[in-house]
């Protein structure tokens, strides 16, 4: 799993309990999944279709640094299925896991569009060609 994005927990990210607000974390995860899928599928019209059970295992406090990791579970026809883990950057304590996030590549009519991808690619390798 690659951890690309780091976030710093600020006062506006907290719930009334003084810990990280779950909705904020889900927003960050959804954006990270979208960015990951758009880059992999090379289609900016890629949307979130499905998220499996969300398991908040621990929390984070103001000033903590968290990192968001993504991995590919499966390349489908029009979809890509991702797995997500968020952890505390300093302690490595896991904050949340989501086993399946399904992102779907769309055409300009908003219909599912086959992406033709079968494996993880790196932008630097694409640029060599
Ligand atoms: C994404 C969307 C076009 C898919 O439409 P659809 O009629 O289900 O399309 P398909 O049946 O062709 O399925 C497309 C892919 O999604 C997958 N899929 C569909 N429903 C799914 C579900 N409930 N769970 C997991 N995957 C699902 C299919 O397996 C298929 O994958 P594949 O092509 O890799 O085999 C449509 O549901 C949609 O527009 N949803 C709204 C998405 C959106 O706006 N998200 C932003 C948040 S609001």
Point out the ligand 1 atom lying closest to the alpha carbon of residue 77: 34
Q: H/E element holding 14?
A: none
Give me the CATH topology for the region 2-117.
Thiol Ester Dehydrase; Chain A (3.10.129)
| Probe target for ligand 1 pocket from 108, 112, 114, 115, with the most ligand atoms within 8 Å of CB | 112
Using CA positions, which residue lies closest to atom 28 of ligand 1? 79
pTM: 0.96
Point out the ligand 1 atom lying closest to the alpha carbon of residue 80: 34
Q: pLDDT digit string (tens) for 57-79?
A: 999 999 999 999 999 999 999 99
Q: Is the pLDDT of residue 110 over 90?
A: yes
CA-closest candidate to residue 89, choices 58, 71, 59, 67: 67
pLDDT classification of 113: cutoffs 50, 70, 90: very high
The 10 Å Cβ neighbour count of residue 13 is: 20
CA distance 98 to 120: 19
Point out the ligand 1 atom lying closest to the alpha carbon of residue 106: 3
């Amino acid at each position: 799993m690659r951890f690309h994005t780091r976030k710093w927990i600020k006062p506006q990210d907290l719930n009334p309990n003084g810990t990280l607000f779950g909705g904020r974390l889900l927003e960050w995860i959804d954006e990270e999944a979208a960015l990951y899928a758009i880059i992999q599928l090379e289609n900016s019209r890629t949307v979130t279709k499905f998220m499996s059970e969300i398991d908040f295992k621990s929390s984070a406090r103001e000033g903590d640094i968290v990192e968001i990791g993504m991995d590919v579970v499966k390349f489908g026809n029009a979809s890509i299925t991702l797995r997500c883990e968020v952890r505390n950057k300093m302690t490595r304590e896991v904050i949340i896991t989501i086993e399946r996030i399904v992102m779907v590549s769309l055409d300009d009519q908003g219909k599912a569009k086959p992406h033709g991808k079968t494996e993880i690619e790196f932008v630097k390798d694409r640029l060599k060609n």
